[in-house]
Amino acid sequence: MKAWITKYALTVGIQEVEGKVSDIGGGGMFCYGNVGYGNQTAHGEDWHKTREAAVKRAEKMRVAKIAALRKSIAKLEKMTW
């Protein structure tokens, strides 16, 4: 099965992978690739059945990260010594 992984979307982008849905944990886990010691996995909102859903999730992650960074910047700008 083809899936799109957004687990690392803000660092490496959206990954298109082949894998399968695992029966372990109620079927919400997608197993793909092999890193030498086992398969990589993505859970919940970290994997998607369509590219459109993955792009929508990645955009949501991007907006949230920008908001968090703006908050951090504001906190740093308020600091005085």
pTM for the whole structure: 0.83
The first and second tokens of residue 44, run together, are: 């919940």
pLDDT one digit per residue (tens) for the chain, 81 residues: 999 999 999 999 999 999 999 877 666 899 998 877 888 999 999 999 999 999 999 999 999 999 999 999 999 999 998
Return the structure tokens found at 32.
């793909």
| Enclosing domain of residue 28 | 2-78
The total of structural domains in the chain comes to 1
Give me the residues paired with residue 47 across strands.
5
Q: Cα angle vertex 42, ends 23, 9, to 5°?
A: 160
Length of the chain: 81
